[in-house]
Amino acid sequence: MLQERVPDLSRSLSDLVAPDRVRREVYTDPAIFELEMRRIHERVWIYCGHESQVPKSGDYYTLQIGRQPMIMVRGADGAVNVLYNRCPHRGNLMVGDRYGNSGEFFRCSYHAWTFHHDGRLRNIPMMESGYAGTPYGKDHPDCSMKRAARVENYRGFVFASLSGEGPSLRDFLGEAIVAFDDMCDRAPQGEVEVVPNCFRVIQKSNWKIFLENQLDALHPSVTHQSTGRAAHEVEKEIERATGKAPLSYHMLSAFATVTIDKWDNFQTLNYPHGHCVLTGYMGLRPKDPDTLAYEKTLADAYGRKRMEEILGVNIHHVLIYPGLSVQSPLQQLRAVRPLGVDRTLTEIWHFRLKGAPEAIYRRSLAYYNLVNSPSTLVNADDLENFWKCHQGLSSEGGDWVSFARHYGRDIHKGEIVETAPNCGTSEAPMRNQMKAWAQYMNGR
Ligand code: FES
Ligand SMILES: [Fe+2]
């Protein structure tokens, strides 16, 4: 087993991570990846999906938690369960499709054992004659599908932990819970609904490279400069011709118009467990008729004062370590599912604000397609960096990854680490993620 292969790994972990830099093996060593899956992803709260992905009894979605194939399924009682996608008889995957409806119960395709949606054994063909006199049958736990140790749902967002121990979901999320409050509060009905299905991208790079990029405020005006400049040129042409370009152009042109020197004006907030927030940089409250109509529906639902509070939340990204990046003002998220030391799946989902005008959904869709989807140049820009980083880290051209930008200038407020004024491009979020990584990997 892993422990036998790398008996000294626990002791050497402290040699891999310093406060301002990390050894390259953290990204490239398959043994470290295995340990990460066991000590981080298969232990902490991992996002499974939104409950609106499984609206009806029997609806299911499959997903990966660490190395484990899982099923999120809606039961007849309305509860959303998370089960291992494995038949307790001889190990067959219970469902082979990514999603579907299992009817009134799960039926294994191999020997037709059947199971309730909470995993309990329902029946075995000829159970009486086949198992009389054995300990096996409905009451034997080994005959039921295994459930995730813990499942919790916050405002429709379903998380599971494969460990029975550890903080509650709320305690785990801490301040980062704002990701879901901000997204749902922006809906006049206080809820969001998933837009069925998502983009899936497999990145040929380690999972941590993606997460570190999410709050990397130095890279956008470099990596995405050409994309932003092209969009800005078109935006200006449209403005010249019509007086006003659609907001969707701004979503791309901001990569060029927010020049590199301006990125230090933003701020990151770094929380326990590796979670981090990047404050907002994109004006999303123009005075166009669509936005004003939306503001009226919010004011009708909550009153003007509360509406101003809701729309005043200043967030661009919330990173929930180790598996979720949420852009709450634009109603989208990316779930990160490590597949191997050099392969990472991201699921890119977006949501509708219940009760909001269609135009506000179109805004979310525009950002989804233009910035986060695999078809946009922005995504391609990032993917190329991720792959190149992984290639470079696999070489012997250097041992360390540096997170030293603005190191030593952070402001510590209890458990929260804020970047100081004019330090928005700080690598504090990466330092915070690696601090959590080291704690988890050391079993804390
Ligand atoms: S493996 Fe599932 S019923 Fe036999
Ligand atoms: Fe990027």
Residue-level pLDDT at 384: 96
Q: Which two tokens stand for residue 327?
A: 């852009």
| Residue from 85, 94, 113 whose mutation best tests the ligand 1 pocket (most atoms within 8 A of CB) | 113
Ligand 1 pocket list (CB less than 6 A) = 87, 89-90, 92, 108, 110-111, 113
Helix (H, G, I), strand (E, B) or coil at 399: coil
Ligand nearest to the CA of 224: 2
Q: What mean pLDDT do residues 392-402 have?
A: 97
Plot region of 306 (φ>0 → left; ψ -120 to 50 → alpha; else → beta): alpha
| Span from the CA of 263 to the centroid of ligand 2 (angstroms) | 13
pLDDT digit string, tens, across residues 311-358: 999 899 999 999 999 999 999 999 999 999 999 999 999 999 999 999
Q: What mean pLDDT do residues 236-260 have?
A: 89
Q: Is the pLDDT of residue 6 over 80?
A: no
Longest dimension (CA), the chain: 85
| Helix pair angle (207-214, 428-441), 10° resolution | 140
The number of C-alpha atoms within 13 Å of 367 and in the hemisphere containing its C-beta is 24
Q: How confident is the model at residue 284 (pLDDT cuts 50, 70, 90)?
A: low
Contact assessment for residue 313 and residue 178, using Cβ atoms and an 8 Å cutoff? yes
**How crowded is residue 433: how many other Cβ atoms within 10 Å of its Cβ?**
25
Average confidence score pLDDT of the chain:
94
- In ligand 1, which atom is closest to the CA atom of 94? 2
Q: Is the pLDDT of residue 277 over 60?
A: yes
Q: What mean pLDDT do residues 96-121 have?
A: 98
| Residue from 93, 94, 110, 122 whose mutation best tests the ligand 1 pocket (most atoms within 8 A of CB) | 110
Q: Is the pLDDT of residue 7 over 60?
A: no
Q: Which helix (H) or strand (E) holds 193?
A: strand 192-194
| Span from the CA of 111 to the centroid of ligand 1 (angstroms) | 5
Cα 291 from Cα 288, distance rounded (Å): 6
Cα 354 from Cα 129, distance rounded (Å): 53
| Span from the CA of 127 to the centroid of ligand 1 (angstroms) | 13
The more confident residue out of 283 and 403 is 403
- In ligand 1, which atom is closest to the CA atom of 124? 3
Q: Is the pLDDT of residue 262 over 90?
A: no
Q: Is the pLDDT of residue 248 over 80?
A: yes
Going by CA atoms, what residue is nearest to atom 3 of ligand 1?
Answer: 111
Ligand nearest to the CA of 113: 1
Strands (E), 195-240: 199-203
- In ligand 1, which atom is closest to the CA atom of 108? 2
Q: Which two tokens stand for residue 292?
A: 């004003």
Alpha carbon 191 to its chain centroid, in Å, reads 19
Q: Which helix (H) or strand (E) holds 257?
A: helix 247-257
Q: Is the pLDDT of residue 281 over 80?
A: no
Q: Is the pLDDT of residue 218 over 60?
A: yes
| Span from the CA of 102 to the centroid of ligand 2 (angstroms) | 39
Residue-level pLDDT at 283: 59
Ligand nearest to the CA of 94: 1
Ligand nearest to the CA of 92: 1
pLDDT digit string, tens, across residues 222-236: 999 999 999 999 999
Cα 322 from Cα 34, distance rounded (Å): 15
- In ligand 1, which atom is closest to the CA atom of 111? 3
Q: Is the pLDDT of residue 3 over 60?
A: no
Task: Please name the residues in contact with 373: beta carbons below 8 A apart, sequence gap of 6 or more.
Answer: 199, 348, 379
- In ligand 1, which atom is closest to the CA atom of 91? 1
Residue-level pLDDT at 5: 46
Cis-peptide into 429, omega within 30 deg: no
239-246 CB contacts, 8 Å cutoff, 24+ apart: 244/288, 246/366
Q: Is the dihedral of CA 262, 333, 152, 211 positive or negative?
A: negative
Going by CA atoms, what residue is nearest to atom 4 of ligand 1?
Answer: 111
Residue-level pLDDT at 4: 41
| Residue from 90, 94, 124, 143 whose mutation best tests the ligand 1 pocket (most atoms within 8 A of CB) | 90
Contact assessment for residue 305 and residue 271, using Cβ atoms and an 8 Å cutoff? no
**Percent of the residues in the chain that have a pLDDT greater than 90, as a whole number:** 87
Q: Is the pLDDT of residue 46 over 80?
A: yes
Ligand nearest to the CA of 220: 2
